[in-house]
Amino acid sequence: MHFDRAVIAPNLTPYNADFTPDTALYVAHAKRLLDEGCTALAPFGTTGEAASLGMNERMALLEAMIAGGIAPERLIPGTGLTALPDSVTLCRHALQLGVHGVMVLPPFYYKDVSDDALHAWFARLVEGTGRSDMRIYLYHIPPVAKVGFSLALVRRLVSEFQGVVAGIKDSGGDWDNTAALLSEVPGLTVFPGNELKLARAIRAGAAGCITATANVNAAAISRLAGNVEEPDASTREAEIDRFRLTLQRHRPIPAMKAMLARRDNHPGWARVRPPLEHLSSAAIQLLEEDLEAFVIN
């Protein structure tokens, strides 16, 4: 799959009353996101509460999406864990199912590690997976992981593992870094980690975006991505940005889940797995008041 003006959703994970994943609702939501215009899905990222999901749960949910009719080539699951053998296992499993690629965090528990150390980890990941046809999308999110990818390391990985290290999701929140990736790493597919200023990113060469708010605003973001040259693009982009920034004033994961719980009248959407906390009734009321002016999708 070639990504051009793509909107990719890191899909949310609903839970049953016992906090096991609600597989049927998970698959239904994933299919709806694709129907609403998402090009692909990136399950098991920050938004999908991946850090709270076990390896077996991730593998079962991935299998359920494909069994439910989602084409594996439209999936880029998160497979980056701190333990190298676990990441190898998740990568092998995903690739055997035929996914487009995998999204891999740097090993993030140990801080202040060198680029050489991170390079060694990724070299062993590629070797351990044993697939010359694999595609790795680096997941750069230093505000959360506290470990990221320097520009020099990205260049080195792309050069050494040509065709394997294929892209990056840049969730660092620093446009200068995104711009440098676009201009200084030839052949790298670059996805900003949100839709803010999406038109500017696409014009600069970005492949689109991977954005949490596609879970609740996919159609509008997808329309903008496909029509950044239209005369009203700046107006529509400003409205999309305003919605995103309004949502960010709340806790985004439980806030989006509260929105889906209301939309679908399904209590499973309101649940987040501990240690995350659901929104209180008062917080939900404030969220609804803040978003009252927006027409979603």
Question: Domain map of the chain by residue range?
Answer: 6-219
Strand 189-192 and strand 165-170: the pairing is parallel
102 phi and psi, to 5 degrees? -130, 150
The three-state secondary structure class of 168 is: strand
* Distance of alpha carbon 114 from alpha carbon 100, whole angstroms: 29
Q: Determine whether domain 6-219 maps to CATH 3.30.565.10.
A: no
* Distance of alpha carbon 106 from alpha carbon 83, whole angstroms: 10
Q: Mind listing the pLDDT tens digit of every residue in the chain (297 residues)?
A: 789 999 999 999 999 999 999 999 999 999 999 999 999 999 999 999 999 999 999 999 999 999 999 999 999 999 999 999 999 999 999 999 999 999 999 999 999 999 999 999 999 999 999 998 999 999 999 999 999 999 999 999 999 999 999 999 999 999 999 999 999 999 999 999 999 989 999 999 999 999 999 999 999 999 999 999 998 889 999 999 999 999 999 999 999 999 999 999 998 899 999 999 999 999 999 999 999 878 665
On whether the CB atoms of residues 217 and 234 are closer than 8 A, the answer is: no
The three-state secondary structure class of 141 is: coil
Instruction: Give the amino acid at 65.
Output: M
